Each structure stands twice: as structure tokens, then as C-alpha cells.
Structure 1
Amino acid sequence: MVARSFFALCLAAVAAAHGDHDHDQDPIAGPLQALWYNTLPGDGGTQADSVFSGISTFGRLPYLPCLNHRGINYDIAFIGAPFDTGTSYRPGARFGPSGIRQGSRRLNLYGGYNVPLDTNPFNSWAKVIDCGDIPVTSYDNTFALHQIEEGHFSILSRAPKTDATKKGPSLLGKTLPRVITLGGDHTITLPLLRSINRAYGPVSVIHFDSHLDTWRPKVFGGSPSEVASVNHGTYFYHAAQEGLLRNDSNIHAGIRTTLSGPSDYENDGYCGFEIVEAREIDTIGTDGIIKRIRDRVGTSNPVYLSLDIDTLDPAFAPATGTPETGGWSTRELRTILRGLDGINLIAADIVEVAPAYDTNAEHTTMAAADSLYEIMSIMVKRGPLSVMDGEKEEDL
């Protein structure tokens, strides 16, 4: 009898604790709370929108046509760059932006709270929206890269929703919004860095990839023309030549490709990169990888993050342009990304997602979306770029 009474008390305590925990949580809202919903029989109540219905935006964020309206503001904007005519093996990354959005549908299903990072990027100080895609031609690479640069700069250069009047790290001393770009093959990083350079000057780059992407054009592709010399294996070479990279503060992580020879590593050093091989995770672990990255880029410089989905092993992300075995797991990559908390990420991209090669279960697009969720969480947790050079604001 005593045991039963004790068990009943425990149940009551659990119920009370659950009730206390539950009172500050709002039910997930959706479009079914419209006028017509009140005409249904019964007292109705409300019903959240289903994750399998509605128009696909990243994480079911609001869509606003930013490129058509200069008056739209935000703190973090997602923008697509559907370009894949710079790839050397499997095309299809032009469908990456739509595939990543499809893979992100469940991110906000239960409210979007990121437990390891103790933040909610969907419900914070930041106004986060999906701006759709930059119109990109598939017939002229030179013009397409110009479209990507100008479209990105249009999104990047306007006043943010938060702290628009406060000083920031841009060349003009202003606070700017952050932009996350959905690729597209990796060639798009060159016009994106050109846009970033116009706003910030040379920046430090964290580059997650299985390939160096600093190859000299004559080595990668033969460089039969100026147009052909710019592709998804040479864009960092061009970025270094154009002065877009902050010297000796850039790092590759996840590298495991074959080379034309040891001189490829020497050329990579000329471009200002340090290399963390994928296999090093077996000896130094995720903590060691994180430390190498943080020591290289620091916590005071503006940092751009570029994530090629082929950083992951094809077992976890088969849908990519140039897959390489021996990569990291999705769990390992997400752990490493979370370890970058506190770094001053001003912008990011994810590239080389080619949904046509994915499984029916959408493994690659979900992995890409979840990785961006970690990146977006880091940005939100760090606060507006107005606080980039100071301590994180505690009351955001």
C-alpha cells in the first residue's frame, strides 16, 4: 500500500513538472487558422500546417521576393544560386536549392530549438527569411557568375532589421545582414566572395570539402579558354589571385582527394590555406579538428564558411557532383560545425547538392539542410554583426 501511494505521488510530481514546463510553449501555428476554418463543424480549435503541405522554403521560413523589393529587410537571408555548368563530373546541382529546401521541411516541426547549442534560430532576436533564387542563366558562365555576384550583393548590402544604425565590421563601418546561399556547384563561391569583398574586403575562409579547389587552371581542366579556367576546382585559385582571401588564415577541412602530384599542396599554400585531412579525425577526433579550425581563423576576424556536401562520405550524402569515399559521417560534421560557436561568421554557402543522385529517403538534402541549421544557429547565437568585435550580448 505504501509502495502504491509512493508511486502515485511520483506520477503526480511528474505530471506537475510536465505542466510547469509546458505552460510557456506555444502550439505550432499554420495557415489553417484562416477565415474559412471557422466555418467547419464543432468548436474547431486550431491545427498546425502539416510539414508535407505548403510551399517549400528553407525550414518553412517566410518567403519574401527580396531581389524585387529593396525595402524588405532581415537579419539572415537564404538565397538560392541554381548554377551547375562549372562542374567536372556529375551535373545537377542547379536543383540543389529546391532540393535543400525540400530536405529542410521538418527542421521547424517541433519549434526549431537547437538543444546542443541552446538556441532557437527560428525564434530569436533575428528576422530570418527565404529570399528565393537568383535568376541564373545556364547558357553563359561569365554572365551567370556576374548575376550571382550582383544578386548576392543586393541581398548583402542593405540595412538589416536589427542594429541597422549601429557600427559594424563592414568597410563602411555599418552593420549588415548575413546571407546563406544554397548552391549550385562550387564555382558559385567565387562570385560570392567577390560580393563579400565589396562589403568587407578580404576575409578568412573555412572550407569544408573533400577537394582542394585551389588547382591552377592549367592543371584542372587544361584552361582552353578564360571562361573554362573558372570552374568548381579552380575558384579559390582565382579568389587568391584577386585578393579576396585574408592571407594565412584560411583552412580546408575534410580533404581526401587524389592529386596531380605533391605540387598541388604547394600551390594550395600559395593560396593561403592550411589543410585538415579527413583521415585526421581518426587520430585527433572531432575536438582536434575543431581546434585546428578555430586556431587558424581566430575569433575576431570576419569569416566566410563554404560547405561542400561531399565533405560527407557518400554513404551519408550520395547526391553530389564528385563523391569521394572515406568522408565524415553526418553526426561528425554537425559536431564540428557546432564547435565553431563564437566564430564571426558573416556569411556562408552550401554547394554541390545534386538531388537527382539522392536516395528516395532524401539522405543528402536532409544532411545539407541539417548542416545549415547548425550554421544558422551559430549565427543567431553570436548576435547581430554589430557585436562582432565585442562580447556576445546576453539579453538578445
Structure 2
Amino acid sequence: MYQPKDSSKSPRFTGVRTFMRLENIQTTEDVDIVIVGVPFDTAASNRVGTRYGPQHVRNFSVLLRPYNPDQEINIFDYCSGVDYGDIDVVPGNIHRSYDNIVEGLTPILENGITPIIIGGDHSISLGNLRAFYKKHGPISLVHFDSHGDTWDNYYGEKYMHGTPFRRAVEEGLIDVDHSIQVGMRGPLYGPEDIEDARDLGFEVIPMKEVRKLGQEEVLRRIHERVADNRPVFVTYDIDFVDPAYAPGTGTPEVAGPTSHEALEYVRGLDGLNIVGFDLVEVLPAYDHGEITAALASAIAFEMISLVALKKRREKSPELSSQNSSY
């Protein structure tokens, strides 16, 4: 059983930086979750530097402890986990980077392990989804973001951080009838920037509607949309959160969720058959006081907690999901 170092016995400022102070081992033996960095950022359209996102989140995550009081679970009583390290991307070559992502994730998925993938810009999600398709076929997507990322191209380029989910639909990687996007907002070029995602088959809940519906209703809609215990991939762009709470990102949009709401959206996914996560667009150079790193590491912690809750139910089926009402 792999678990973090005990920081009451070993100071946090010692040792190599890994997520939550987990052991840095590339193994698929006796593990349930792995942390994987994908430090690719040369498909960004504005600020670059998210290649340093994985190490930035790891640096702050040493403050995390194994017990989650909000979910009432000690993660490593039910999960074994390691920091798997980073996938070797190719700066400036997105297609070779995608190949490396698929190659790197395949043994993890083939062994039934849940990866928590830290980017990197949002273009990496296409590589991630290709790997999940090999294992699961078309997969349901739950997408938190301030942008739909379903544009056809940027500057005539088809593979950018604003295009991955259009490409994923075109490649048949996503079960769009059971996929949903939440949080879209900000100035656009036209209504088609939202409607294109709906035309592709996604349910879309823009931030204006999120505020009217309330968090509980949005979570109910997510559960209703996915349904039937089908495998789910969760993609979480940190710019889903208001830049007051997550300034360290490449394309911030105001009027988003608070840090509390950001975490509650993840907690509220309990009960879905989640087989993988990615967390993207953390940009250290704009992260004053490590505000974004603090939140991003907490989001990843909540993602790991969902895996632990699922494992606990598998061991004790009488423990129903706290979100079964959705």
C-alpha cells in the first residue's frame, strides 16, 4: 500500500516534491490512483507557461493531509497511490505529444488504475481522451470551464487549447449524448461560440444559467445527463473558477465560482463512475501568493477522494453515495 509521508514525522520542506508527498514510482502494481503530469503548453493562444503547472501544484500539495473531513474519509485507508511523474511531451509538436500521452496512459488504464492528470494547457485532453477511448470506447465527459473549447481552429490551426472537444467529437471519442459542459462565460465572437457545442451534442450550462439554477440543480443535471453507471472522464480547467480565487491561468474570465463552489462541484460528482480526471491551465507566473496552486491541489485532492469513496463502497456496498439523491 502506497501512501504519503507523515508530515508530523518528516518535515514538508524535505525530500523531492511529489503530489501530497506520495512516492515517485512508475508502477502499476498495487496502486489504485496515480498522479501524472503532462507539461505541454505550446497550444495556448494567450499566456504560456502552464508547462510548469504540474510541478507548481505538486509544490503546494505537500500541505495536504490524508483525511478529508468534508467527505468523512481517510483516503489511504481505501486507496494506494503514487506520483507517476510526467509524460515526456515534445514542445512545439502536439501530435508527437499526443502519441506520448496515449502511450504513457495505456498501461495505467489497462491495469484499472484511475489517473489524476495535471496539465499543461487544455489541448492535452484530446490525448487523454484518445487513451481512454482505447480502454472504454466513447466516454461521457463532464467539463468544467469558462470556455467550451469546441472552436474549429485558431489561426487556421486545428489542434489548439480551444479546439480539443470538437476534435474529440469528430474522432468519436466522446459519448456526447451523455456529456455536459458547465460554466461558460465572458465575451464571445458570436452566439455560435456557445451554440456550436450544443450542435455537436453537448448539454451546455453557461455561468449565467448556473447562477439562476443553483449548484444543487446543476449537479442534479450532471448526474441525470451521465446516467446508467457509464464510464466518465472529468476535465477541469482552472479558469472555470473566478480569477479572484485562481489568478494563475492563461485566459481568465471574471464572474465565475468561488473556491468553495469549485470544490463542491467536485465533491458533488460522488456516485458517478469516474475513470479519470484532468486538471489543466494552471500558470505559475501569474499565481500571486500561490492562490491558484492552493486551490488546484485541493481540487486534485477532492478528485482522489472520489476514488476512495468509490473503493469504500465496493468494500462495503451498504454505504450508498451521499449524492445518490441526484
Normalised TM-score (structure 2): 0.91
Q: Distance in 2 between matches of 1:392 and 1:342?
A: 12
Q: Distance in 2 between matches of 1:336 and 1:284?
A: 14
Give 5+ residue unaligned stretches, structure 1.
1-27, 31-46, 160-175
* 2:45 corresponds to 1:117: no
The secondary structure found in structure 1 opposite 2:35 is: strand
The match for 1:167 is none
* 2:53 corresponds to 1:138: no
Q: Contact between 2:120 and 2:281, CA under 8 Å: does it hold in 1?
A: yes
Q: Which runs of structure 2 are paired with 1:1-396 in the superposition (5 Å)?
A: 29=6, 48-66=9-27, 72-108=29-65, 112-121=66-75, 123-157=76-110, 159=111, 176-217=112-153, 221-223=154-156, 228-298=157-227, 300-359=229-288, 361-383=289-311, 392=317, 394=319
Q: Distance in 2 between matches of 1:202 and 1:55?
A: 37
- In structure 2, do the counterparts of structure 1 residues 239 and 29 end up closer, same or farther at CA, with 3 Å as the change threshold? closer
- In structure 2, do the counterparts of structure 1 residues 257 and 391 end up closer, same or farther at CA, with 3 Å as the change threshold? farther
Q: Distance in 1 between matches of 2:235 and 2:98?
A: 17
Using the TM superposition, give the Cα deviation of residue 259 of structure 1 relative to its aligned residue in structure 2, in angstroms. 2.4
Q: Distance in 2 between matches of 1:254 and 1:284?
A: 12
Q: Contact between 1:62 and 1:129, CA under 8 Å: does it hold in 2?
A: yes
- Once the two structures are superposed, what CA deviation does each residue of 1:298-331 show, in whole Å capped at 9, x if it has no partner? 2511100000000111100011011111111010
Q: Distance in 1 between matches of 2:245 and 2:283?
A: 14
Q: Distance in 1 between matches of 2:255 and 2:159?
A: 27
- In structure 2, do the counterparts of structure 1 residues 261 and 355 end up closer, same or farther at CA, with 3 Å as the change threshold? same
Counterpart code for 1:120: N
Using the TM superposition, give the Cα deviation of residue 222 of structure 1 relative to its aligned residue in structure 2, in angstroms. 3.5
Q: Distance in 1 between matches of 2:117 and 2:168?
A: 18
Using the TM superposition, give the Cα deviation of residue 126 of structure 1 relative to its aligned residue in structure 2, in angstroms. 1.7
The secondary structure found in structure 2 opposite 1:116 is: coil
Instruction: Report the identity percentage.
Output: 37
The match for 2:323 is none
Q: Distance in 1 between matches of 2:304 and 2:234?
A: 11
Using the TM superposition, give the Cα deviation of residue 391 of structure 1 relative to its aligned residue in structure 2, in angstroms. 8.6
The secondary structure found in structure 2 opposite 1:180 is: strand
Larger Rg: 1
The secondary structure found in structure 2 opposite 1:268 is: helix
- Once the two structures are superposed, what CA deviation does each residue of 1:201-250 show, in whole Å capped at 9, x if it has no partner? 00100001000001112xxx132xxxx31111011000000000113111
Q: Distance in 2 between matches of 1:149 and 1:393?
A: 37
Q: Distance in 2 between matches of 1:302 and 1:392?
A: 19
Using the TM superposition, give the Cα deviation of residue 258 of structure 1 relative to its aligned residue in structure 2, in angstroms. 2.5
Q: Contact between 1:75 and 1:384, CA under 8 Å: does it hold in 2?
A: no
Q: Distance in 1 between matches of 2:316 and 2:209?
A: 32
Q: Distance in 2 between matches of 1:265 and 1:282?
A: 17
- Aligned residue pairs, count: 316
Q: Distance in 2 between matches of 1:321 and 1:229?
A: 19
Using the TM superposition, give the Cα deviation of residue 139 of structure 1 relative to its aligned residue in structure 2, in angstroms. 3.4
Using the TM superposition, give the Cα deviation of residue 288 of structure 1 relative to its aligned residue in structure 2, in angstroms. 1.7
The secondary structure found in structure 2 opposite 1:333 is: helix
Normalised TM-score (structure 1): 0.76
- In structure 2, do the counterparts of structure 1 residues 29 and 350 end up closer, same or farther at CA, with 3 Å as the change threshold? closer
Once superposed, which parts of structure 1, at least 4 consecutive aligned residues long, lie more than 3 Å away?
390-395
Using the TM superposition, give the Cα deviation of residue 392 of structure 1 relative to its aligned residue in structure 2, in angstroms. 4.0
